[in-house]
Amino acid sequence: MNNENWMSMDRNFDEDYFIKDANENKSRDKKYFVLIIYDISENKRRNKMVKVLNSYGFRVQKSAFEALIRPNKYKKLLSDIERIPDTCDSVRVYKIQGKGTVEIFGETFTANDEDDEVVII
């Protein structure tokens, strides 16, 4: 998947959110599209969450990140996130599979496609 798919100048685009590489039989080649949104009240915890999420993907809004990651990295992401919030905070992680449409309004964003793995959180 190249950056043009993610940065379509159109306001919407279709994506296959359960992506497999050329060899579909290898489970390590599967990737998940992940959306993470959060509402964290305390600055220290919120900054820690941002630091963790930046290591997996990229910010699309102030409290929203997106990622495209393999299943083992997804498990690690959940483990890393679980340690941050307090009982008064809210964090939601959406693992999206199958076909979908992304509608974009307003400012678009740019992702660097490093290691052929983009994390959107």
CATH number for position 95:
3.30.70.240
91 belongs to a structural domain = yes
More confident call, 68 vs 118: 68
pLDDT above 70 for 58: yes
Domain assignment present for residue 55? The answer is yes
User: What residue ranges in 2-98 does DSSP mark as E strands?
Assistant: 12-16, 18-19, 31-39, 58-61, 64-69, 90-96
As for how many domains the chain has, the answer is 1
What letter does residue 11 receive in the DSSP assignment? S
Greatest pairwise CA separation for the chain in angstroms: 44
User: What's the domain range around 19?
Assistant: 3-116
Q: Is residue 121 part of a domain?
A: no
pLDDT surpassing 90 at residue 113: no
Within 8 A by CB and 6+ apart from 51, the residues are none
> What is this structure's pTM?
0.66
Residue 86 resides in a domain: yes
Which pLDDT value is given to residue 120? 52
Give the pLDDT confidence score for residue 31 in this predicted structure.
87
